[in-house]
Structure formats: structure tokens, C-alpha cells
């Protein structure tokens, strides 16, 4: 928000979450909400990240562990499917990667500058469990 002068904002430092009225907020997805410019949804913390998570949908089982444990509302799930990462709000904590149960993981951390296609091309293969490895 532009830094207004003393007469350029609402009294009491009050902020509105939305422009206009919103009735069914609990069932209205972000893309259908009229966020006000005061809503932090409109801001970005992308520059906090050193490493970023990348998502490989080939291995994802839509368990939604990443969705529930993401502290930054940055796992985008629609119709019970994981569809991607919100890179405006992801701070790069890495929790999503840690809680991902697939083998190989469907989410991995990469340096912020890493090219996504390149990362997907180099995605690790399924790791054999120790037991299986011992048998071979």
C-alpha cells in the first residue's frame, strides 16, 4: 500500500480484509475473493526464501499432508488434489518436503534460482528401503 499522508486512510488504523461485502467467506476460495489491498494475501514474502520447494505430480498421492502442515497457506489444493505451490506466500521452510510420504518424495527443496524443468528432469528415483537393499 502506498504510504499515505495523515489524512489519507481510515480512522483508528482500521483495516478491511475485502473490497465490498463477502457472504460465504468460509466456502469461497481465494480466486473468488475480492481481497482489499490491505489483505496480506496481496503481498509477497518470496524474497524470504533461500530454498524453494518444487512439486512433482508424478509421484503425488494427494494425501494432503503438505496442505495441512504448511504454515503459510502455500500448498494449493483444489477438489482434494494437490495442484501446486503459491510462491508469493511460501517462505521456504521445507515442512512440506519433510512430511511428504511418497517414495521418491513429490516435493523437494531446491535453491531458489533452480530451473523447474531441470529439477523435474533430475528428480531422484525411488529409494529402496534398507530391508530390500539387504536382500539384493
> Interface residues with other proteins (CB under 8 A)?
1, 3-18, 21-23, 25-30, 33, 37-45, 48, 62-65, 67-74, 77, 79-80, 86, 88-95, 97-99, 109
Cα-flanking dihedrals φ and ψ of residue 65, to 5°?
-60, -40
List CB contacts of 16: < 8 A, sequence separation 6 or more: 10, 36, 38
Going by C-alpha positions, the residue among 2, 87, 13, 73 that lies closest to residue 37 is 2
CA geometry: angle 49, 114, 58, nearest 5 deg: 100
Q: Report how far residue 124's alpha carbon sits from residue 120's, in angstroms, rounded to the nearest whole number.
A: 9
Q: How far is the CB of 112 from other proteins (least distance, A)?
A: 13
Q: How far is the CB of 56 from other proteins (least distance, A)?
A: 18
Residue closer to other proteins, measured from CB, 62 or 112: 62
Q: Do the Cβ atoms of 53 and 119 come closer than 8 Å? A: no
Please report which helix (H) or strand (E) contains residue 75, including its range: strand 75-78
Residue closer to other proteins, measured from CB, 4 or 135: 4
Q: How far is the CB of 80 from other proteins (least distance, A)?
A: 4
Residue closer to other proteins, measured from CB, 5 or 136: 5
Residue closer to other proteins, measured from CB, 42 or 122: 42
Q: How far is the CB of 135 from other proteins (least distance, A)?
A: 25
Amino acid at each position: 500500500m502506498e504510504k499515505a499522508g495523515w489524512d489519507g486512510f481510515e480512522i483508528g488504523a482500521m483495516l478491511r480484509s475485502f473490497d465490498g461485502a463477502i457472504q460465504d467467506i468460509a466456502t469461497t476460495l481465494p480466486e473468488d475473493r475480492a481481497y482489499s489491498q490491505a489483505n496480506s494475501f496481496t503481498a509477497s514474502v518470496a524474497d524470504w526464501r533461500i530454498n524453494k520447494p518444487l512439486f512433482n505430480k508424478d509421484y503425488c498421492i494427494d494425501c494432503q499432508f503438505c496442505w495441512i502442515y504448511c504454515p503459510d497457506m502455500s500448498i494449493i489444493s483444489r477438489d482434494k488434489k494437490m495442484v501446486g505451490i503459491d510462491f508469493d506466500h511460501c517462505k521456504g521452510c521445507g515442512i512440506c518436503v519433510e512430511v511428504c510420504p511418497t517414495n521418491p518424495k513429490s516435493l523437494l527443496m531446491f535453491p531458489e534460482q533452480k530451473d523447474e524443468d531441470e529439477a523435474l528432469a533430475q528428480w531422484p528415483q525411488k529409494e529402496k528401503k534398507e530391508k530390500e537393499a539387504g536382500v539384493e
